[in-house]
Structure 1
Amino acid sequence: MTHREVMVFEGPHGWTEWSPFLEYDDQEAATWLKAAIEFGYAPTPELRTKSIFVNATLAAVAPAEVEQQLDAFGEFRTVKIKVAEPGQTIEDDLARIRRVRELRPSVALRIDANGGYDVGTAIELAKQLAIESIDLQYFEQPVKTIAELAEVRERLARIGTKVAADESVRKASDPLAVAEANAADVLVIKAQPLGGITSALEITNRAKLPVTVSSALETSIGISMGLHLAAAIEVESFDAGLATVALLTDDVCDEPFIAKNSKLEVKRAVPSENKLAKLAADSERVDWWQERLKRCFELI
């Protein structure tokens, strides 16, 4: 992805963001709109902490690029490594993971396949990492379906590797189905895709599994929504995947939500007029988003 479009607006409780990806249909985008409206127009839940530990995220790059990408995040105690990129092999993924472990021997490692492996390849990769004593905090969405996740989870439990579900939560008609099927050890929770903070909290409380709050590649305004969710979580949680503003070339805030010492402060984001003007979409895209907003609002 090289381009991101979002809609931001101000409600009585502060600025909020609506940023469903362009390819999403109106029904899915309407769920994201519920989250945006809630964050701007309703009070946030009681916060249990004032700051959130966050992880670095490494794209599916060649080993020679790993150091530079990790350095952009500064200090961190957890890194999520993307794997299963189309056109790459399991050896490419292993080389990337080994390079991270070489450069950052003490950080916790997660790998994220975005459902890109089949069952056999996912197990092969995890077993090879275990042979090399490269421990994983968890293996995120190794395969696509809940049935496949359940199989991978059962087999990887024998070598002590946990499985996390992301797409099987946020893109499912029933976000709790993966937990009810015992197909994951960890749930990855995102505020907008789940319809907002209140809905996401209900899911975590009912699932009774550890969670990781993560982003959907939002601006600092969307990240603020994620931070408020992470700060209200009552179940066990891992370092949040909310440091993704560092992956953007620009942001709507003069002081973007960039982590310091592996942490982000839980606060509202306020965009600057200059940045809003600089990053404003052209009239054609504005019309497209306004029409999308009208259609999706009718579905709420």
Structure 2
Amino acid sequence: MQLPEIDELLDRTHIVTLPLVTRFRGVDAREVAIIRGTVAWSEFSPFLEYGDTEAANWLRAAIEFGFDETLERHADGEIWVNATVPAVEVSALDGVLARFDGCRTAKVKVAERGQTLADDVARVAGVRERLGADARLRIDANGGWSVDEAITALRALARFGLEYAEQPCATTAELGELRRRLRDAGIEVPVAADESIRKAEDPLEVARLGAADVVVVKMQPLGGVRRAVDIVESAGLPATVSSALDSSVGIAMGAQLAAALSAPRHDAGLGTASLLAEDVVIEPLRPRAGRIPLAPVTVDEAALERLASPAERQEWWRERLRRCHALLAGGSAQIPE
């Protein structure tokens, strides 16, 4: 992959801070780098705590999408997406779900630090009640349970008809043990792997060890559309394409991954622009009738100026870009061509 020079990349980059509608993953705002590529706008937005080697995957994805003329792109059609429900009180569910027009699937966050299983049960029950018996519900624990805790929690939550439980435990070995114990206990909840794929040195280990029924793939952490497609095809499992609380630019990148997959796929976790109070495009990719379009987004350059991050955050991100670019240029990042 041909890398742009670092000075050119920095000249094309805008660092913005996007406020959230509700607290999510412990933050009230999302910092992202929006890049005006030669082919398309792209996004570089690894979470702040990620190290440079991991973040370099995200930069490779941004460069592939923004600068690679040979990348196949889809402009017609739509992608079904799920509603994403943060770990909110039941009283807040109506307001959250109202932002996800027509979604037939909802992902509910559970195992939030400082909350209890009773909180999770009440939240999932509330979503089921509001969306009805035909809706598909999935939960996401972000690796927050031990195997024993997951067994207890999924026994309590299974009655709500879960499509799957996403990353209930932290490690691949735990996911494999959990799947076996769920089967032995007669608890019919499929297991999906997210962090065990996107943060793993070997993203195919979960499939090889039989540790998941579904793979959850995110375009940026996996290094781009092509690599993510290869991982899904090699895993041989149904897939869910998801986002990492991206702007609509990053969501559009994820939608292209969803369109590129030939494997069976679940409704995508690409409705999260609805969690942003402000966005960087003219028409944010919020779900309408449960779907988002594949047509390219139009960046609002006035919004890039209005939402520009403070000077010290600009410099922090630009230094991060320099370091990640150097890893890609030197071939020392864990990113196959």
Q: TM-score range by the shorter chain?
A: over 0.9
Which residue in the other structure is 2:95 paired with?
68
Q: Does 1:148 pair with 2:174?
A: yes
How far is 1:291 from its partner? 1.4
Count of residues in correspondence between the two structures: 298
2:117 is the counterpart of 1:94: no
Tell me the distance in 1 between the aligned counterparts of 2:291 and 2:165.
23
Aligned partner of 2:110 in structure 1 is 83
Amino acid at match of 1:7: A
User: For 1:262, which of 290, 299, 302 is the aligned residue?
Assistant: 290
Greater displacement, 240-249 / 10-19: 10-19
Match of 1:3 among 29, 34, 44: 29
Deviation string, structure 1 residues 175-217 (Cα, Å, up to 9, x no partner): 1111111000000000000001111001001000000000011
> Is the contact between residue 57 and residue 80 of structure 1 (CA under 8 Å) also seen in structure 2?
yes
Is it true that 1:26 corresponds to 2:52 in the alignment? yes
Residues 80-116 of structure 1, C-alpha deviations (whole Å, 9 max, x = no match) = 0000000111111111111111111121000000000
Distance in 2 of aligned mates of 1:288 and 1:159:
47
| 1:228 and 1:267 in contact (8 A); partners too | no
Give the structure 2 partner of residue 56 of structure 1. 83
| Residue 129 (structure 1) shift | 2.8
1:39 aligns with 2:62: no
Structure richer in strand, relative to its length: 2
Contact preservation (8 Å) 2:75, 2:295:
no
Q: 1:44 to 1:267 in 2, by over 3 A?
A: farther
Segments of 5+ residues of structure 1 without an aligned counterpart are none
Q: CA RMSD in A?
A: 1.3
Unaligned runs of 5+ in 2: 1-26, 329-337
Mapping for residues 117-132 of structure 1, pairs under 5 Å: 117-130=145-158
Q: Could you tell me the TM-score, scaled by structure 2's length?
A: 0.86
Q: State the Cα deviation string for residues 279-298 of structure 1 (Å, max 9, x = none).
A: 11222222222211111101
Partner Cα distance (1:281, 1:254) in 2: 19
Aligned-partner Cα distance in 2 for 1:182–1:91: 30
**How far 1:8 moved relative to its partner?**
1.0
SS at match of 2:162: coil
Residues 49, 231 of structure 1: 8 Å contact kept: no
- CA–CA distance in 2 between the matches of 1:65 and 1:289? 34
Per-residue CA deviations over 1:26-63 (Å, capped at 9, x if unaligned) read 11111100000000011333649721000000011111
2:192 partner letter: A
CA contact (8 A) 1:189 1:211 kept: yes
Partner residue, 2:139? 111
Structure 1 CA distance, aligned partners of 2:312 and 2:96?
Answer: 34
Equivalent-residue separation in structure 2 for 1:64 and 1:156 (angstroms): 31
Q: Is the 8 A contact 1:226 1:242 kept in 2?
A: yes
Amino acid at match of 1:215: S
What SS does the corresponding residue of 1:16 show, helix, strand or coil?
strand
Task: Give the letter aligned to residue 3 of structure 1.
Answer: A
Instruction: From 230, 234, 257, give the equivalent of 2:262.
Output: 234
1:219 matched to 2:247? yes
Counterpart Cα distance in 1 of 2:75 and 2:258 = 9
1:44 touches 1:228 (CA, 8 Å); kept in 2?
no
